[in-house]
Every structure is written in structure tokens, then in C-alpha cells.
Amino acid sequence: MAKIVVKSASDIEKMRAAGRLVGETLREVGKLIRPGVTTGALDEFANAFIRGRGAVPSFYRYRAGGPPYPKSVCVSVNEQVIHGIPGRRVLADGDIVSVDVGALLGGFHGDAARTFACGDVSPDAARLIAVTRECFFAGANRAREGCHAGDIGAAVEERAARDGFSVVRDYIGHGVGASLHEAPEIPNYRTAKRGAAFRRGMTIAVEPMVNAGGGEVDLLDDGWTVVTSDGSLSAHYENTILITDGEPEFLTLLEGEV
């Protein structure tokens, strides 16, 4: 089992800087999302924004057992759950757009995602976006000393189920730090085991992926894009969190976003 890395005070300051940059990138990309914009344009902006701050996009050329990821951020539209590859796709009115951003700054990564409404979305789509965000905060409330990774998953799944939504089980949250993906695993569903115990100084990415239909997903032939098996909409909300001796600290949330 991989060792959990507890961060030093110096490490945490660097992670705060990386997290703040990720939050700022998402805020600025969100301003660009409107009908007629291509997903590739969002990626180009994010790449320039991150590199302009002296950082490197965490996802560019990242490998997870298949081909290296070819872009700087992930842009997933409608039934695309995660890891959508930006390109020529033109956003349309009513789309929901999940943007996942990672940035490596000062030797440490920040990692976060948001789902944005493009133009006028349906009430059902708007509710999915809102509930996915609520799922994150339900889980994040358990990101404290004395709790376990499984407590987060149970809270996320319970909140999603209240609105008849399903959580994705094939992909989960994770530790984050000098490596983009570290121990421990952070599921978004109730598990038989409680999982890793949280200690102050741990940094984790909690990231509910919530589907309007069933929780089953498929991987497309590009080796990256994950879609809902039934074609239903999916939303994604993620933040990097620092475990403290009290309330969790959200490293990728900007002031006023909580």
C-alpha cells in the first residue's frame, strides 16, 4: 500500500499557492463559457494562464496506463463524465461543461473541477450541477481528523441519492501533493471498509462525479474520455483540501466561493 504523505508547513504554503492558481484558472475559464466557444479555446486560455504564472499544467502529457494526455485541462460536455479532450467541439446553448484543472507550482500540485452551465440549461441540468456541488460539501465536511476516507464516500452517495442521482464508482478522489495522485484513495460511495484515517497535514482531492441516470460509465477509444453508459448528463465538482486540527481548508476555493 502506498504511503500517505503528511505535508510540512513549507509544503502546505506551496500547496496553497498552487491551489490558488487552480482556483483562479477555473474562475477565468468559467467566464469564457458560452455558446459558440470551442472547447479547444478554453484549453488554450487555461494553458497560457497557468504558464503565465510560472506553473505547468499538471495534466499535459500525463500517463495513466494509456496514451499521454494531449491537452492542458480536461473539458467534458454533457454525457462526458471526466477527461474530455478539448478540441474543435463548439459549445451549444444548454450544454453543461465540466472543466478539470491541475497546476504544478513550486513542486506541488493543485487539482480542482467545476461544472458550468452554457447559456440557458434545463432545470434538470441546473439541479444536477447544484446537487453535485452539494455532494462535495457533504463529503468535505468529513475531511477532518478522526474521520476516514470512507466517511466522505458515504456522505457523497447519500446526498446524491436523495435527488435520485447516481455516483460514479469507477473513478475516485485521491491524495495530492508533490505527485498529482497520491494515497489515500477517496471513494464517492459507501464502502465496507472505513479507509484511511485522516491526520492534520494530509492533502486530498475530493471529487464527486454524479450522473443523472445510472452510475455506469464507458471509456471511449481515445483512451481518456469517460462517458455515461446510458447517455445521461454528468457533473463533476472537485477541490484540493488540507486536513487541519479543525475545519477543512479548501486550497482551490477562492475567497467568497464557499
- CATH code of the domain covering residue 92: 3.90.230.10
Query: Considering its fold, how many domains does the chain have in total?
Result: 1
4 located within any domain? no
206 located within any domain? yes
1 located within any domain? no
Give me the domain span that covers residue 208.
Answer: 9-250
154 located within any domain? yes
36 — alpha (psi -120 to 50), left (phi > 0) or beta? left
- Residue 249: pLDDT above 70? yes
Give the lowest-confidence range in 2-6, 203-207, 217-221. Answer: 2-6
Question: Is-above-0.95 flag for pTM?
Answer: yes
257 located within any domain? no
33 located within any domain? yes
Cell of 37: 466557444
| Euclidean distance between CA atoms 146 and 65, whole angstroms | 34
Give the model confidence (pLDDT) of 222-238 as tens digits.
999 999 999 999 999 99
256 located within any domain? no
150 located within any domain? yes
141 near 258, Cβ under 8 Å?
A: no
CA atoms within 13 A on the CB side of 186: 30
Give the model confidence (pLDDT) of 117-152 as tens digits.
999 999 999 999 999 999 999 999 999 999 999 999
